[in-house]
Structures are given as C-alpha cells and as structure tokens.
Structure 1
Amino acid sequence: MGRGIVALTLLACLWPLSASAGSVRQVPHGMEVTTDAGEKVRVLAYADGTFRVTVADDPSAAPQSLMVVHEADGEPEFRDDAKTASLTMPQARAQVGLSDGRLTVYNAAGEPLLDEYAPARMLTPVTVEGQPWLATRVQFNRGTDEGLYGLGQHQNRQMNYNGEDVELAQHNMAIAVPYLLSTRGYGILWDNASITRVGDPEPYELLKANWKADYFLGERLALSRPEPLIDYQYIRDQARWPEEAKAATVAATTGQNTQGNATQPQRVVWTGSFTPQASGTHKFRLYSSSYAKVFVDDREVLSRWRQNWNPWYHNFELDLEAGKPVNLRVEWEPNQGYIALFHADPLPPEDRHSVSFASEAGKAIDYYVVSGASMDGLVAGYRRLTGKAPMMPRWAYGFWQSRQRYETQDLLLGVLRQYREAKIPIDAIVQDWFYWPEDQWGSHTFDPKRFPDPAALVEQVHDLDARIMISVWPKFYPDTANGKELAARNFLYQRPLEAGQKDWVGPGYLNTFYDPYTPEARAIYFRQMREALVDKGFDAWWMDATEPDWHSNLSVEERAFQMTSPATGTPGAAIFNSYPLPHAEGVAEGLRAAQPDRRPFILTRSGFGGIQRASAALWSGDVAARWDDLRDQVSAGANLSISGIPNWTHDIGGFALEERFSKEQPEALPEWRELYLRWFQFGAFSPLFRSHGEYPFRETPIIAKDDPAMLEGLTYYHRLRYRLLPYIYTLAAGTWFEDGTIMRPLVMSFPGDRRAWNVDDEYLFGPALLVAPVSEFTARERKVYLPAGAGWFEAESGRRLEGGQEVTASAPRERMPLFVKAGSIVPTGRDVQSTGEEPQGPLTIHVFPGADGSFSLYEDQGEDMGYSRGEFARIPLVWNDAARTLTIGARVGRFPGMAATRRVGVVVHGDGRVGAVFAREPSRWVEYDGTATELEF
C-alpha cells in the first residue's frame, strides 16, 4: 500500500493533474479515480470482497441507500501505476483505468468476473418535476455466455436472463429487486429506485405496421379504418375509441371491477404487414387484458387472457430477415379491456449478450459488486449488504387458507371448523380486505354488523389451534380519522385526490395512500394499526397493494407523478420502485417494539432490495387462473428466491378466473378442477403453502366435494407437506443461519451443468427435492430434466435414475413428478393436523443412498425470538455411502420445551421396493436421548 502512495506522489510531482491525465487518490476503505473527462469513480471495499462503485462529479453526494444497511469495512491493498489503480481483497480485486474509469473485477484466482465497456457509461442530466437528476447506464461483459439470474419476480417465463430484457418497475405482478447474479461468481446490486432496464437500455416502442383495424359489434362489422398503432394501453387512451365502436367500451373508465352498460359481444381485429429493417431476433411485448391472440403469417404465436383491471405484458420473439415482410394479425375481445403492442429491433450480438443496467433518474451511478464461490455465496453477500432474513414462525410453513373474501366472522370460523372436522391439516386462515364499514377504508375498524367481536374472532381461531392473518393497506379515504391525522402532518399523498380518482367500492370513493418516506409517518401509521388491530391479537399482516397501486391502469407517468413524496419532495419517478421497503420496515419495526419476543410475519405484494430484513414474505400478485400463468410462476418464484428473498408464495389456483370457470359452466368444470389440483401440488412445494382467489371457493372440503379422487389428491399434499415439516423448517432456519434459499433454480446446485441453466419449469426445494409441476391440461406425463452430477430417486415409485438426462415422468392427475437427489437425508414427522401438534414427536429419517450425505436437523420453540439468542438445537445426521452407516450425532444446543428423548426411525431407500418413498415405514427404530449413535444398513 505504501508503494502505491509513493508512486502517486511522484506522478503528481512529475505530471500536473489536468483534464488530459487521469489521477487517483486513496479514501477510507478504497480509492477515487478522476478520469480524463473529469468523472470521478470511487470504489470502496467490504470485508467479504464486495466493492461499492460510485460514478459522479462528487461521489460523496450519492444519496443514502434505502436498500443497503452495511457500510464499507474492508481494508484493501491499494496499488496504482500510470494506467490503472486497484484494490485487492483476499476474495477479489477491483481495477479502474485512470484514463476512462473502466472497471474490471477479478476473483481471487485472477480470473475476470466483470469487465466494463466504458463507452456505454452514461450520466445524462435530466429534469424531473423541475429538479436536476441523472439518467444513468453501465454495461459489462459484452458478448458473454454466462448465466444471469435474480432481478426479483417477472412473470414472462424468463429463467436465464442472458439475451433477455427485463424492466424493473413495480406492478401488481412484477417485483423489482435490482440484484443480478452470474454463473461467473459475481452479483451486481444496482442502487437505484427509478425504473431500470436490464438488457436493452431503451424502452420498447409501439409497433408501427400499417394496421387495418376492424371493429365488430356482435357479428356486424361496425368500422374498418387504418391505424398507425395498436394503443389502448391505459385509461387515458380509452378516449380514442371510435364512436361507432363505443357501445361495448364506454364504461371502461375506472380500471377496476366496473361493470359496463354493454349488451353486445364485440371484438377488434388488426391486420398489418411489418417489414424489419434489421435481421435477427426481434422482441415483442403484447400488453393486454381479456382474450388476445397474435398470429404471424397465420401461425398463432401468442394466446392469453387476463382480467380487465389487471392487464400486463406477454413476451414473444420472432427471427426475422431484413427487408422480408411478415403478416401480423391481432385478435382481441375488449370487454372494457386494454391493449398495446410493442417492439424492439435486434441488438448487436455483443450487446444482446451483455450485462447492462440503465435507470431513468439518479444522483450518481451507484452499484455493488458481490463476489462469491457459489450462488449461495452471492445470496449471502446480498444479505450482508441489505440485511438478514429473520426466521418466520414455524406455523407459517403449514397450510394457509384464504378467500376473496370472508364476509363475516362466522363464515371464517365455519371454514376453519370444516377443516378440523374433515381432519385436513391447516395452520392459518386469512381475513382479506373490506371487513371495515364501506366508506371507512383506512380506519382499520370492523363493520359491527359483520364482525361484532374481532377480539373474540381471534381467540376462537386460536382455540381451533390456528392463526389468523388480516389484510391492512396503506390506502386511506381522506375523511377517516386516520387519513385526517396523516394529512395534517403532510403524510398523505394529495395528487390522487386532486385527480378525482375513485375506487371500485360501492358508488366509488376518493382515496389515496400514506407517504412512508419519513420515520414519523411510519410511526403514526403503525400506531394507528396497533391500536385498532395489533392489540386484538392478530398473528400476521397482509400488506396489499404496496407498489403502490392506488388506481389500476393509470399510465406509468401518471403513477410516478402521483407518488412524489409529499414529506420529502422527492419525485415519484426517482423513487418509483422503493415504496414497499420503507412501508414494510415501518410495520416490522413497530411489531418488534410492541411484541419484542414474537416473530413478525408480513406478507406484502411488492418488494425491493432489502425487503427480507422486514420479516416479509412476498407473493406473485393477482395472477390469472390459466395454465400459462401456472407455468410462469416457476421461473418467477425461483428468480425472486435467488434474488435473496427466501419466503415467497402465490395464489393457488390463480386469483382471477375466466367466466367459464367463475360461472361454473359444466363443460369447464373438469379443467378448473384439474388446474386447481395441479397448482395445489406446486403450492405444497413452495416456500409458503397458501390458497387464495376469487369465486369459486377454494377450500379443500368445498372445491372437491363431488370429486373423491380430487379430494384424495388434495388431502395427500396437505399431509405430505406436514410430514415434511422437519425438513422444511430446517430449510427455513437455514435462511437465517446460513443465508439459505428454499426455492432454488437448478443452477444454484448444478452450476456446471449448462443445460440446467435454462430450465424454467423445474426447481429444487431445498437441497434434496426436485419439483416438476405439471402445467398442461390433461397431461398425464411430462418431460423432466435430471441434472448431471447426481443420481435421482423418483418419489412416487422409488426407482433410481441417473442424472444428465431427460426422462418421461408419470403424472396422473392426483400426483406431480417429484425426485429426490441421491445422497440426501430427509427427516419427516408423523401425520398431524397443525404444526403445533407434537412438534417434538417421532421422527423418520429417509436416506437416499448413492452418495455420502449429511443434514443438520434444526428445532426450536417455533414462535419466539429465542433462535436469535442461541435457544435452538441441532441433530447432525451423516450417511456414509461406502460403509452404509447412518450416524445420528450428538445433539447440540437446547431450547425451552425441548424433549429429552425422541423415537427415531430410519428408512434406507434403493432396495428395489416399489412405492411412494415418503409413505414407507422405518425398518429400524432407536430411542434417541441426545447422544451419538451409529446404525449399519
């Protein structure tokens, strides 16, 4: 380090600093380079080998991060020469070019992880609501073949993002977490809360294709006219409907569940010819609701349905040749819906396959480069920067039942009693929105006619050995007492009120959200919540619409304008993605203060980097009940999980249904039941197991009442989930103790198997289980890729298969393909009705030979904060494959209520027996008193 300082001093004496000569100086924990152009590139080191990189005229002026809570603490070795300066930590080295500020990061072996393309770096002044901001961009690793993952939740069936475009913009179904992980061994946390594009830095444009638009009312062609674009994307665009076609669309004004005055079915058909100007892969996005189809040269390339108040993007690609036209046709049934078609030309191959971030508004380029020897190490590095993921209560990993919505407390209690009477396991039930009087959203009070005694409701749920979660929104009617209190302190957004926007309740009410960007506002919000709800004993908190989504189908520009922070004056465009983080943190901090020895549980629809530290789980929003949407959940949940947020769930069955399902048309009933059953199978192997949605009702005893085979299938997965709780709860503990990930894309465990990188319809549930959901109607088998480097046991048959191959797995309607990796140890419990029933009961240890294996079974009290004080126990389990011995090691630790002795049975699979592996009874039993014992097989 001393030589570097001396060299810098000599250079300064020999060559005076000027705009034509880059320079470097040391700063605490790092260095700051001034480039030939006068840009300053500051690099700070962390003890774990992470580097923070800030590019600005004055890097110290970069704003305080909302995501990152850990300050630089590394003591790097500093070196510089005439061309570069570098910081070296044991894990990685960061090098910056003095002339152009080009960043290169190397791992400990000297291999390049990240190589910046300096000409793409951008700091462009922009004005946002009269304030000076910067549009920013960086690009790395041009022409790369690495695998790229993370970025939160995006429901476009994208697994490996290399070659893909992702827009980070909060939405009902899209969660923006700006953390990207690479198979090269690095992650990038991009510290910017504005809308950010990863991949193509430019927004897609509306497709111009010389469209001919035919508008039909019933079977009658009402109008035919040329149109330059397909663009009815937002509420504001509905005014462009032609008068001749307005009969079926005039009521599409609120963007919510408004019923129109139309009586005629109608459709629109656009036909056009598109001549590409460049050869290559052209990318398209259809933004749509209702029924929409896209055809290319009469070949269907897209067919989707979405509920009309929640349209979203659907991606497709076409390989096209420059100058060669293609014929396009878009068929749409508006039904008061929304549509727009977007397109992007091909990027040059070296840019298409690169790592690029571009944001609309910031004060600097600011990002963190995390190095790690594995994907798990990259997740750990992210959590070191943004905060640990606290443990959830054990009951959270049981089954959750919800409905949109339980209208009375008697109805909710009746559903819970149905489960208990049917002896179907359940742990939590949910009271969704609108328990308050109609005109009092935000009051957090109960309508006394429907909920006469909320405290008694909670007590009765607890008496049934269950927990209750309640919906609580950041939304307020301005004339409620809570809304008035917040508005008096300038903590209530006024622009939605000034716009006159009304919601979909009753006659429609003016509404807005609170501003969570100051500690005082968050404290008032939680105090209001505590006085009305927390003190009544509710167990968990469903924080809905946290994008914030105060009015569906506003344009992005209108949403950004309306969410400008009243308290801080920060433009909404600059903080667009961050709202859910301070909101969840405020509630979590309040709960920890009010209930200091109780684990909080928050379920929030949206998230941002760091949301895991707020004891928050996320879910995938108001997804549609269709097979495509079921499949899209797999890559969405896997990428959110690898982004560092371990607790994720989805509405089993899909939230919103087509009329053929919601009206229970007899011809559609078999498909609806099969869709729900397949989704339920997937849900049983999701981090959180939760059923929710609109009518028809989803409760197991109700949905399967006339279908004994369906009831058996659903009940099977209820019980299998509960038998696997010792395994699942250990995975849950691992998210805190080892920074673990429950739902794992295949690449996490098999980074050397390049075929596994792109698998978007399978995942690992912990280290042992490979899950392959079925997402096609009437499918009774499916192709499953078994990753190379391991053997696999088919869970339903017990047969052993080698990895590195695709197999055809049996998939009867009532069962989903499930495989167990050879070398795994999976502890299970007995059949119980809740997680609170015999948590210290007998254990069965399932051993899957073929490789050495180990598992450290975790147990604790289940609900208190004792785990953070060291009040837990571990039972180490080790399988020696060559010796065929299982060692049940000496128990380590203890906790209140721990059983002194346990009955432990062992099943060693692979002996040729046929049948479901987790249904097998132990061949050996031992009485375990905490001392080590070795068993031979």
Structure 2
Amino acid sequence: MLEPKLVAVTSRVIACAAALLGLTGTAWAGEVREVAHGMIVTTDAGQHVRVLAHADGTFRVTVADALPEGHPTTMVTAEADGAPVFRREGALATLVMPQASAEVGLADGRIVIRDPRGAVLLDEHAPARKLAPVTIEGQPWLATRVQFNRGTDEGLYGLGQHQNRQMNYNGEDVELAQHNMAIAVPYLVSTRGYGILWDNASITRVGDPQPYAKLSLDWRAQYFLGQRQVLDRREGTIDYQYLRDQARWPAEAKVATVAATTGQNTQGNATETQRVVWTGTFTPEAAGEHKFRLYSSSYAKVFADGKEVLSRWRQNWNPWYHTFALDLAAGKPVELRIEWEPNQGYIALEHADPLPPEDRHSVSFASEAGKAIDYYVVPAPTMDDAVAGYRRLTGKAPMMPRWAYGFWQSRQRYNTQAEVVGVMQAYRDRKIPIDAIVQDWFYWPEDSWGCHCFDPARFPDPAAMVEAVKALDGRVMISVWPKFYPDSANGRALREKGYLYERPLEAGQRDWVGKGYANTFYDPHPPGARALYWKQISDSLVPLGFDAWWMDATEPDWHSNLSVAERAYQMTSPATGVPGAAIFNAYPLVHAEGVAEGLRVAQPDQRPFILTRSGFGGIQRTSSALWSGDVAARWDDLRDQISAGLNLSLAGVPNWTHDIGGFAVEERYSKGDPAHLAEWRELYLRWFQFGAFSPLFRSHGEFPHRETYLVSEGDPAMLEGLTRYHRLRYRLLPYIYTLAAATHFEDATILRPLVMDFESDAKVWGIDDQYLFGPSIMVAPVTAFQARARQVYLPGGSDWHDALTGKRLSGGRTVTAAAPRERVPLFVRAGAIIPAGPDVQWTGEAPQGPLTLHVFAGADGRFTLYEDAGTDMGYARGEFARIPIVWNEATRTLTLGAREGSFPGMAAARRITVVLHDGTGSGDVFDMREGRALTYEGKPVTLAL
C-alpha cells in the first residue's frame, strides 16, 4: 500500500501528466491520503472529504474547506474503529468494509455508498452540496446541505416525532426544530437498506431545503364579532403568527377578555365570539403538488374551491403547524378560504411551490448552521439493523424498571398531597391495577419556580406523601423543570456563575402564573451548570424518595408564542458564547445527561427513570422516555399520535408515551356540555385502548379528570372497558417486559411500524394507523367517533388470529374488523408465543407467579422469556434468566428449553398453562386460561398439543 504522502503526490503527477497530454476529459483529479480508519480526499476545488469507517460498516463523512476536529454535537459517543481496505481506481477512492463500501469522486467529492453486492445505497447529487458562509451574532458559520438518491422510490422513516400524519417521508417535508409537540432526532431509515444520522444541532430541513414562505395574495379579510361584520379590508398575507404580531390586530375587532380557567392561557378568553374569514385566489405558476402549512390555534378551517381540506383546533398557548397539499395545474386559479375563530389566538398560512419530481423524491438534509457537513451512514439489511446501528453510534438504551411498564395516573395537576395519596388509595380500593402516580408542576409556592421545594400549606410533608404511596405499593414521579425565577436562591446561584439565559429576562417576558413573573431557563451546556443544577435537585428532592423524574419543557420552551428565531436568539449560551441558532436542537440531550449522570451516582443500584418532553439523537442512553407533548383532545390528534410514535421508534427511541385522552380539551368537554359527553367518553376510551398498547401506559390531561373511576362515572360499560385494558396490560407484562429487555440487549423496538416486519409488502409502507406491539400483536386503534368497525390490512407472508374472535385469517388482504366501543381490534401473528401472567394489582405483585403461554398455530414460532429482579442494576451484572420456547407447527409440539441464567428472588419452579389457539374461533383469545398444565423447574420440557 502506498504511503499517504506518496498517494497524494502520485495523484498530482498523474493529473498533471494527463493535462499535458491533452487528456483532460479522462484525467484523474484531486488528491487522496489514508488516515487512521479511513481517508481524506481533497477535490479539485480544494474541498476536503473525510471518510472514516466503524467496525460495523458505518461510515462517517465530513466535508469542509477546513476539516474540524472532534464532533459537532454530543449525539455520537462512538469513535471510528474500522479497518477498511483502501482502493484507488481511476478517479475514485474507495473504502471497503465487509458490510458496505464508500466511494469518493476525486474531482468533486461525490459520495456513493454501496452494499456488499455493489448495489447503491446512497448516491450523492454533488451539485446540491452546500457549504455557504453565514454570520450568526458576529460569528462565522456555514449553512450546509447534501442530497442523495434523486428520483428515488424508497421508503423513508424516523426523524423523531412529528404530528402531521406523515408515515413514509418520501415526498414529504420535515422541519427538525424542537417544540412542545415536535421532537427532532435527525436519523432517517430507508427501505433501501441504510440509516443516515445527520450530526447537526441547528434547524434542519429534510426534503425541501428552503423554508416555507407566507402565502402572499390579495386576501379579502372579513372580521366579525358575533354576527356583526366589523371590518372588511385587503391583506397581503395571513399573519398573526406570534406574540409580537398581536399588535397588528385591528382595533375594530378587539374584544374584552376574562381570566382563563386553565392557568396557562396568557391572554384570557374573549367575552364575544370573534371570527375572521379570508378569501383569496391563488393562481400557481408551477404545476404539481403545492405544500401548505397552517400555523394556528383555536378553531381553523381551510377550503379549496369550496372543499374542506383542513379543520383543526388547538389551545391558544400552544399553536403549531398542520400541513396539507394541493395538486394544482399551472395557470389554473384555486379559490382559498380560511375560517378562523381567534379567541385571542394565533394564525399564519405558509406555502411552498412544487419541487421537480427528482428533487421531491430524494434524500436531502439542509441545516442553518454548522462548521462542516457531518453525517453517518449505517448499512442496514433490515430496519432492526438500522436501529441497532444508530444505538451503536449514540448509546445503548438502558433498561427501565419493570414497574414503569404498568399504569401511570397523572393530572394537571394534583394540588395537595392528600389528593395524591387519595387517588392511589381509590385505585387500590376499586381493585384497578396501577403502579405510578405523578405530581405535576406548581407544587412549589407561587413566587418560587425553581426552588425544588413544596408549598407547605398544600404539601406539609412530601416525604410522608411518598411513603404513603409506597405503602400502597405505588411509585411517585415528580415534575422538575429547567426554569427559574432569577431572584430565587437556586436561580441566583446559577446566575452568579453565568448559567442562566439572560435574554429572556432582558426581553421582559413574564409567565402565566399569578401576576406573571420574570423567568428564564438554565443553560445545561457547561458541565458546571449541569452539576449545579443536579446538586440543587439532589439536595432537596432526592432525599424525599421519588422514583422517577418528569423533565418538562425541555425544548426549552419559555414561551410558546415566540418565533423559532426569537427562541434561538434567547438560547445563545452565556457561558460558552455559542449562538442558540447553532445548538437549537441539542438542549434536551445535554440536560437529560446531567440528570441521568447525577441519578446514577446518587442511586448506583437503582435504575433511573426520566420522562422528558423533548429529545435529540442519543436521548435513549440517558434512561429517558419521551412523550408527545401537550396535544389536543381531538380525534385527528389521536390519529396523529400513531405515526408520530412509530417514526420516533424507528429513529431509535424505544420508550415513548402520550397523554391518554389528549392534554388540552375544548370547552365543550371541559365545561361538561351534556351534548358532547358521549363523544368525550368515546374519545377517551379509544385513546386508552391505544395507550394500553404503547410502550408506556399513562393517562394525563386537563379537566375533565382522567382517573379511571372518575372519567367513567355514570357509564358502567365504559368503566368495564377501561378496567379490562388495565387488567390485560398487567396480564401481558411477561411479554411486555421481555420486549423492554430486548430494547437493551438486542437493540429491539417495541412500537413497530408494519414496514419493519413486512417491508416486502409495499402496501404497508404508508400505513399510519396500524402497528405491531412487539413482534406478535398487531394493533388497529379506532380514531373516528361512533365507528364500530374499521378496515384493517393483514400483511402478506403470515396468517393472523383475530384476538376478539379467535378466528384465523390469511394475510395479504384487507378485512373489516369489529370494533365495539369498549374493544380495540387486535390481531396476533400465526406462530406467535405470548406469555401472560396472573391478574395482579401492581407489577411487583407475584412477578414469579404462574404463567399462561398463548400459542397461536399456523406457523413455526419462538419466544424467549426474559426475567430479572425488576428495579436494580443486576441486569447489567448478568443477573437475569431466559427461558427459550419453541413451537413446531409440523409436529404440533411446544418445547420449553433449559433455563439460562438466574437472579436473586428467582422461583425455582413455575406453574405454566399452555393454551393453543388453533384458529377455529372460540372467543377473545386472551380471556382463555384453560389448557395443558405443567410445572417447569428449569429443565427442557416438550408438550404435544
């Protein structure tokens, strides 16, 4: 192999010789030199392309005029450790690993990644590459972009959590920007056999590299108060998007307001109904799919040529985007009408022209600020391989405690410690299974946000509160924020060291509490800030015995009605001097790392549990689960949760949850309007059914109260339906906890888009309302009011058992599934083995009790049951047991293999009942408990069934 300097010199000599001979059309160009684990190519234009190999075949690609050292973010913890074979062939330099190869064009630096057979995974469109100088707060940065696979038909997934019902991102636009309901994880997974991790923390656009613009038309704007039209004028754009834009509201249309009842609406409620209607004619210059984003709160509808294309409601303190698209012909006008009931809310309409088809269907990342282009390509024959490769780069997902997979009850909020204990006691009295209760925000005195202390008038003895819950076999999670009032003791301590963001204070922003208080957030980027923040929590809250930590507003979100640009400006790190625009998406990761590290030191043999509203690449390594934010209690929002959670899971985050019932509710529900009670109850039931088959099972929201026995009051059928899924969740804990263990040991995924397991069946690529819960159970949530049946696609390549009837159905077709109000359609794959436990009231009750093995005939199957002590770190020391279970369809035999391993408290013998489901139809499969019984003592056993 040539020495690095000799390779570069040889390249120059050959290029010069070719030029002298007049062979410029075929000349080798550029320079290349080998470095540890890879190579650096210098193109004709002087741009450097560094490619480094990891042992698993992952390639890191860095492109810049001057290559930076280190990593641009803290996402990636792995360093290159591969030993690639280097090849120089003509105008290409190549690194070859057993799993993939990376080619770089010496002239232009074009990247091509191939699988071991030579098939192209990623093919860069070099002319789209961008490294454009930008100045941010006087500092030099680069706006960056890459584009691959122009005109592709591959399926694309991941990217975190986005609630616009986008499943397959091919042809879609996604903006990666942390928000209350949006989680930016820049990892994209393809059906072509790779994942790509974009290592940049600034605002990033996947798809269209340009931001959408306000739709500029000659809008007719009609303002109404009640039935009276008070103003009719022309407006160029629809733009009441942010707090500052409210100053432009016309005086004629203003109304008086009264204080809000939720404690969070910063503007109050209008005493007279406002309404605005905008109408305008849009004549597109370009044909094709025009993309639109409506940023809105309150009630908003959009019509195109009289047809409704969007109808949404959202709380005023939490507006965000809803997207829609119109396929339009060039020069053919379309009449747009927007109807809005402001109630002091926010609205804006944005638009993007069609992209050329080859650009619309491509893989494109564009970021606002960086020092280089930096990304990782993970070769992944399966999507499970893609998730595993992501976690090798960014960190393993530690095991959560077993109790975390039970039921969580929360409320916005419990006002006294008596309420907290009383709710847990009420569940126990009614024998409704539960494990955890949550103390949400504002347990502190009104003027003391950030004190990490309790208001003694309402919580006279918080330690006793925690002990009382634990005496009821429960757990308590406490809400902790990165927010501080600057004149509090903790706020002053942070501020003295430069660890508080100053710009929110300089802007004079006040929050919604009481008279409104000046507030800001701490800056977690300096290690000293994380250490001090943790010390403040450790000194005051850890000794009280809390089991879990709810980290709210971790975007950070100090005001929901500021623009992203204003939020970025206010996030500029006072301690590091890094502009907020360059690190906009990174906050939740570094914040969670500080708390996780603190917990591991303070409680070294206890599994940490963190619930955080936002995340970034690598968040799974911090023992964090994520949730979908303050979503609205609407049927559309329920539907949107499904694709949001599925794509977050494919972005590598295994533990996710949502507020069952939706956090924020319309007044028709919160005021208990009898005309809407039936819809509220059904919405909650359907959401609860989805929650029972989510990684974490958690109810939370504003009034009406969500406790099972309260939300169903006066509706015995609803109470039975809810309680059924409490009990089924707990019976399925052996299955669910095994799935949870697999996320750590095997980098598995609990919440599985159908494309993960049935990629060859192209019909599943875009299905956004069905999924697999683990490898065996397919869930088809009902997301429409009064629906008592729904269409369900049964993927090909497998037979399926209808869990409600027991009948076996062939795959590769759509069926009409019965969906009574109190039941969710479930289907189980033929060959599945699903272990279930006894009826219990909490996860710690009889964890080594009798087991029921549900075996679903129709195909060979296997399942390996995992068990451990449940809460300690023993699993990391090898203290766990596995029982391999195999079903042989041809011989109709079930074999329980020899138990592998052990752990403290493990039962030597287990009573096991085997129930065979043969597909003939005998009722609800999980209600069946009669079958072949045996005592398993750890030795192999084979049963003929």
Does TM, normalized by the shorter one, top 0.5? yes
3-state SS in 2 of match to 1:483: helix
Residue 591 (1) aligns with residue 616 (2): no
From 802, 819, 826, the equivalent of 1:818 is: 826
Post-superposition offset of 1:60: 3.3
Q: Hey, what does 1:380 align to over in structure 2?
A: 388
Post-superposition offset of 1:556: 1.1
1:854-889 C-alpha deviation (Å, 9 max, x unpaired):
001000000000001100000000001111100001
Q: Hey, what does 2:332 align to over in structure 1?
A: 324
Cα pair distance change 1:66/1:452, threshold 3 Å: same
Q: Hey, what does 1:637 align to over in structure 2?
A: 645
3-state SS in 1 of match to 2:254: helix
3-state SS in 1 of match to 2:887: strand
From 95, 116, 126, the equivalent of 2:124 is: 116
Q: Hey, what does 2:359 align to over in structure 1?
A: 351
CA contact (8 A) 2:73 2:201 kept: no
Residue 683 (1) aligns with residue 691 (2): yes
From 222, 226, 248, the equivalent of 1:240 is: 248
Q: Which amino acid aligns with 1:105?
A: I
CA contact (8 A) 1:255 1:553 kept: no
Residue 155 (1) aligns with residue 177 (2): no
How far, CA to CA, are the matches of 1:608 and 1:854 in structure 2? 35
- For structure 2, list consecutive stretches of 5 or more residues without a partner in the other structure: 20-26
Q: Hey, what does 1:164 align to over in structure 2?
A: 172
From 314, 334, 338, the equivalent of 2:322 is: 314
3-state SS in 1 of match to 2:255: helix
CA contact (8 A) 1:235 1:255 kept: no
Post-superposition offset of 1:921: 1.5
Post-superposition offset of 1:247: 2.3
Q: Which amino acid aligns with 1:460?
A: A
CA contact (8 A) 1:255 1:308 kept: no
1:147-201 C-alpha deviation (Å, 9 max, x unpaired):
0000000000000000000000000000000000000110110000000000000
Q: Hey, what does 1:368 align to over in structure 2?
A: 376
Q: Hey, what does 1:141 align to over in structure 2?
A: 149
How far, CA to CA, are the matches of 2:416 and 2:236 in structure 1? 51
1:276-308 C-alpha deviation (Å, 9 max, x unpaired):
001111111111000000011111111000001
3-state SS in 2 of match to 1:443: coil
From 431, 451, 465, the equivalent of 1:443 is: 451
Post-superposition offset of 1:910: 1.4
Once the two structures are superposed, the pairs formed by residues 197-236 of structure 1 within 5 Å of their partners are: 197-236=205-244
Q: Hey, what does 1:509 align to over in structure 2?
A: 517
Q: Which amino acid aligns with 1:272?
A: G
Post-superposition offset of 1:800: 0.7
Cα pair distance change 1:218/1:776, threshold 3 Å: same
How far, CA to CA, are the matches of 1:255 and 1:927 in structure 2? 57
3-state SS in 2 of match to 1:68: coil
Post-superposition offset of 1:594: 0.3
CA contact (8 A) 1:255 1:309 kept: no
Q: Hey, what does 1:799 align to over in structure 2?
A: 807
Q: Hey, what does 1:541 align to over in structure 2?
A: 549
From 54, 72, 75, the equivalent of 1:46 is: 54
Q: Which amino acid aligns with 2:752?
A: R
Q: Hey, what does 1:185 align to over in structure 2?
A: 193
Post-superposition offset of 1:10: 3.4
Once the two structures are superposed, the pairs formed by residues 51-70 of structure 1 within 5 Å of their partners are: 51-61=59-69, 63-70=71-78
From 864, 868, 873, the equivalent of 1:865 is: 873
From 252, 271, 275, the equivalent of 1:263 is: 271
From 492, 508, 518, the equivalent of 1:500 is: 508
Q: Hey, what does 2:731 align to over in structure 1?
A: 723
CA contact (8 A) 1:389 1:612 kept: yes
How far, CA to CA, are the matches of 1:125 and 1:400 in structure 2? 49
How far, CA to CA, are the matches of 2:82 and 2:258 in structure 1? 62
Q: Hey, what does 2:24 align to over in structure 1?
A: none
Post-superposition offset of 1:208: 1.5
Q: Hey, what does 1:664 align to over in structure 2?
A: 672
Q: Hey, what does 1:10 align to over in structure 2?
A: 10
Q: Hey, what does 2:781 align to over in structure 1?
A: 773
Post-superposition offset of 1:535: 1.2
From 790, 795, 799, the equivalent of 1:787 is: 795
Residue 342 (1) aligns with residue 353 (2): no
3-state SS in 2 of match to 1:59: coil
Q: Hey, what does 2:484 align to over in structure 1?
A: 476
How far, CA to CA, are the matches of 2:258 and 2:718 in structure 1? 42
Post-superposition offset of 1:923: 1.3
How far, CA to CA, are the matches of 2:278 and 2:10 in structure 1? 70
Residue 81 (1) aligns with residue 74 (2): no
| Alignment TM-score, normalising by the size of structure 1 | 0.98
Q: Hey, what does 1:453 align to over in structure 2?
A: 461
CA contact (8 A) 1:622 1:656 kept: yes
Q: Hey, what does 1:302 align to over in structure 2?
A: 310
Once the two structures are superposed, the pairs formed by residues 752-771 of structure 1 within 5 Å of their partners are: 752-771=760-779
How far, CA to CA, are the matches of 1:165 and 1:250 in structure 2? 39
Q: Which amino acid aligns with 1:575?
A: I
1:362-409 C-alpha deviation (Å, 9 max, x unpaired):
000000000111000000000000000000000000000000000000
Q: Hey, what does 2:287 align to over in structure 1?
A: 279
CA contact (8 A) 1:394 1:835 kept: yes
3-state SS in 1 of match to 2:68: helix
Post-superposition offset of 1:69: 0.3
From 722, 739, 764, the equivalent of 1:714 is: 722
How far, CA to CA, are the matches of 1:180 and 1:161 in structure 2? 9
CA contact (8 A) 2:29 2:91 kept: no
How far, CA to CA, are the matches of 1:123 and 1:644 in structure 2? 28
CA contact (8 A) 2:257 2:267 kept: no
How far, CA to CA, are the matches of 1:421 and 1:250 in structure 2? 40
CA contact (8 A) 2:548 2:610 kept: yes
1:775-808 C-alpha deviation (Å, 9 max, x unpaired):
0000000001111111100101001111111110
How far, CA to CA, are the matches of 2:79 and 2:615 in structure 1? 22
Q: Hey, what does 2:658 align to over in structure 1?
A: 650
How far, CA to CA, are the matches of 2:542 and 2:257 in structure 1? 44
Residue 103 (1) aligns with residue 111 (2): yes
From 891, 900, 903, the equivalent of 1:883 is: 891
Post-superposition offset of 1:258: 2.8
CA contact (8 A) 2:401 2:609 kept: yes
Residue 610 (1) aligns with residue 618 (2): yes
Q: Which amino acid aligns with 2:299?
A: Y
Q: Which amino acid aligns with 1:551?
A: H
How far, CA to CA, are the matches of 2:473 and 2:251 in structure 1? 59
3-state SS in 2 of match to 1:142: coil
1:555-579 C-alpha deviation (Å, 9 max, x unpaired):
1111000000111000000000010
3-state SS in 2 of match to 1:593: helix
Post-superposition offset of 1:143: 0.3
Residue 897 (1) aligns with residue 900 (2): no
Q: Which moved more, 1:20-29 or 1:408-417?
A: 20-29
- For structure 1, list consecutive stretches of 5 or more residues without a partner in the other structure: none
Q: Hey, what does 2:475 align to over in structure 1?
A: 467
- Please provide the CA RMSD for this pair: 1.6
Q: Which amino acid aligns with 1:290?
A: S
3-state SS in 1 of match to 2:806: coil
| Alignment TM-score, normalising by the size of structure 2 | 0.98
3-state SS in 2 of match to 1:406: coil
Post-superposition offset of 1:637: 0.2
How far, CA to CA, are the matches of 2:522 and 2:921 in structure 1? 61
CA contact (8 A) 2:28 2:91 kept: no
Q: Which amino acid aligns with 1:790?
A: S
Q: Which amino acid aligns with 2:309?
A: V
3-state SS in 2 of match to 1:845: strand
